[in-house]
Amino acid sequence: MVFGPKGALQTVPSRSRISLRKLQSFTVQKRQSVITLVYGTLMIIAGVLTFIIDPLVVYTNWALEVKEGKFIYSMWSNPTYKVYSDVYIFNYTNIDQFLRGEEKLKLQELGPYKFQELRTNENITIDNERGVMTMNPVIKLKFLPEESTRQYNDSVVVPNIALIAISTLLADQGLGFLPNTAAYYTMTALGSKLFKPMSAGEFLWGYDDPLVNVASKLVPGWIDFGKIGIMDRFYAQRKDEVEVELKDISKRFSINTWNKLPGLLEQNFKSLNTSTPCNRLKGTFEGLMLPTNFNRTTLPVFRKQACRVYPFNYLEQVPGTIGIPLSRYKMDETAFNRTNRYACKCTANCLPDGFVDIGSCYYGFPIALSKPHFLDTDPEQQKLYEGMYPDPVNHASHVDIEPRVGVPMALSTKLQVNIAVRMASGNPITRPLKDMVLPLIWLTLYCDEPPPEVASLLRLRFVIAPPLILTAEVLLISIGSLLVLHGLYRIWRPKYELIQAQKPRPVDRRPSVIERRKSSLTLNMAETFNDEEIAKEAVSLLAIKEEDLPDLLMNEALLYED
């Protein structure tokens, strides 16, 4: 045991001990406040980042990547849109009176014959290096008799497509008098007539005609079918190969090439440098998907059956069926007119205004497209018929898209199929119909709503998720700000103060009897006793018991009195 100045020095804290105490004091008092401050700052940063980097946009871009196994890939491979086609046949009711020159042609609209269009894209291949996707589109029609107003067994009287088409084609070729005369006598010998009664099913999907049989045998490379029908030729299976753009975001899902060419050969495409909007396919769309944030004023649409590019112009914003606004594009009112930018140039055998010649896509037959019931066509053609009732509202075409994602939501396109009649000297069989454009059918291709899975994803993306993300952003910034303010306040004015514990002051007390006794004896022994005597005295001290205390206390008192 050490007494004196050395012991006093040990009670004075050193400079290092003071710093340690300050650090301990800071750690205890400020640690929770600093942690609160850090958490609040991180929450504010997270909230601000979600404002700057919209997680919904990031997710949308990720979801729109076309990779095998992803949703977009499956939608391209096997689209689940419910696309229907209503077909109406023009039935000619006064053929005899017309041929006698007594009346103009009277038409009766029969339909609809309802079909479902089934589309698949086979052999999809993605070239990541070039950023393109190639496929073979396959489109088929499935008749829905239960939902159709009319049936295949309906009796109709319609123009004899084979006779009119071959007669007009020979006239257009300029073969001269003798070949056309030979054709006339052949048709007469075969008993071919300008109009022919048949069933609706035969007219749509093919009927036997001796002219077709003769032509298929004489020129099999030209006529590769044994029967002729309107819908049969429109939906004839062809091995087309389409390449669409994936890499360029602004042109994503647009057509790059069709059968390895960026234009349509049937409309005299030679090269991109000499191409026109009529035959240039590069940059057009089929309508399955569009680029994100699509805000163009014109949407160029290519449909192989229509054999040309058709412009749809932005019309207005319309409410969607799932609660999100849509952009409506309406077919240009002049889309079928010769003055339209997308019209193909004509140098010979030109059709009246309002008709589009697509014969080059169909064996050279004089097939012409127009709007239903001759809407916006040459008035002289409209005057030739009774039973045509053009309606600018019901016969207009449009497509609705969600522009931010580029998803088609609904469509309604309407076209009429006609056959043009031209006559050559030497073949008067088509004289009663000279220079007329005969209506055959009109059809509407429509889809009222997107598939349920597409609607659910869009509803989540645009209806449900945005308010949730906004709420999360506001909460992150608000709670983060409160935590930062709370942390700063507690750093400035801590809630608890660390008080340094002081060494307790010694309490003055008289030593006990035994202690005094032992102390006195210890001092006396240290001064007068030798080692042996000290040992004996120690033994005697150890032998003191509690019952001996009264005697010791008495002796101690006497000593103090002395």
Does residue 305 share a domain with residue 205?
A: yes
Q: Is 477 helix (H, G, I), strand (E, B) or coil?
A: helix
Given this model, what pLDDT does residue 212 score?
A: 80
Does residue 192 share a domain with residue 136?
A: yes
Q: Is the peptide bond before 112 cis (omega within 30 degrees of 0)?
A: yes
Q: Is 561 helix (H, G, I), strand (E, B) or coil?
A: helix
Domain count, the chain: 2
Does residue 205 share a domain with residue 242?
A: yes
- Domain span at residue 96 reads 81-450
Does residue 475 share a domain with residue 441?
A: no
Assigned domain for 557 exists: no
Assigned domain for 406 exists: yes
Given this model, what pLDDT does residue 335 score?
A: 95
Q: Is 385 helix (H, G, I), strand (E, B) or coil?
A: strand
The residue from 450, 479, 501 where one domain ends is 450
Given this model, what pLDDT does residue 559 score?
A: 46
Contacts of 85 (CB under 8 A, 6+ apart): 114, 115, 116, 117, 141, 443, 444, 445, 446
Does residue 397 share a domain with residue 364?
A: yes
Does residue 173 share a domain with residue 220?
A: yes
Does residue 277 share a domain with residue 322?
A: yes
The residue from 424, 450, 476 where one domain ends is 450
Type of residue numbered 190: L
Q: Which two tokens stand for residue 32?
A: 């929770």
Q: Write out the chain's pLDDT in tens, 562 residues.
A: 444 444 443 444 555 555 555 555 555 556 777 888 888 888 888 888 888 888 888 888 888 888 888 989 999 999 999 999 999 999 999 999 999 999 999 999 999 999 999 999 999 999 999 999 999 999 999 999 999 999 999 999 999 998 998 888 888 887 788 888 888 888 888 888 999 999 999 999 998 888 887 777 766 666 777 788 999 988 988 889 999 999 999 999 999 999 999 999 999 999 999 999 999 999 999 988 999 899 999 999 999 999 999 999 999 999 988 889 999 999 999 999 999 999 998 888 899 999 999 998 988 889 999 999 999 999 999 999 999 999 999 999 999 999 999 999 999 999 999 999 998 888 899 999 999 999 999 999 999 999 999 998 899 888 888 888 888 888 888 888 888 888 787 777 766 555 555 555 655 555 555 555 555 555 555 555 565 665 565 556 555 555 555 554 455 444 444 5
Q: How far is the C-alpha of 194 from the C-alpha of 346, rounded, in Å?
A: 27
Q: How far is the C-alpha of 239 from the C-alpha of 261, rounded, in Å?
A: 14
Assigned domain for 550 exists: no
DSSP β-bridge partners for residue 308: 303
Assigned domain for 344 exists: yes
Which run of H or of E encompasses 412? strand 407-420
Assigned domain for 246 exists: yes
Type of residue numbered 155: S
Given this model, what pLDDT does residue 488 score?
A: 84
* Model confidence, pTM: 0.79
How distant, in Å, are the alpha carbons of 7, 340, 368, 437 from that of 354? 117, 10, 10, 11
Does residue 258 share a domain with residue 189?
A: yes
Assigned domain for 549 exists: no
Does residue 95 share a domain with residue 162?
A: yes
Q: How far is the C-alpha of 158 from the C-alpha of 420, rounded, in Å?
A: 14
Does residue 374 share a domain with residue 300?
A: yes
Does residue 40 share a domain with residue 130?
A: no
Assigned domain for 556 exists: no
Assigned domain for 335 exists: yes
- SS in 3 state form for 83-150? EEEEEEEEEECCHHHHHCCCCCEEEEEEEEEEEEEEEEEEEEEEECCCCEEEEEEEEEEEECHHHCCC
Does residue 489 share a domain with residue 444?
A: no
Q: Which two tokens stand for residue 434?
A: 């000279």
Q: How far is the C-alpha of 164 from the C-alpha of 207, rounded, in Å?
A: 15
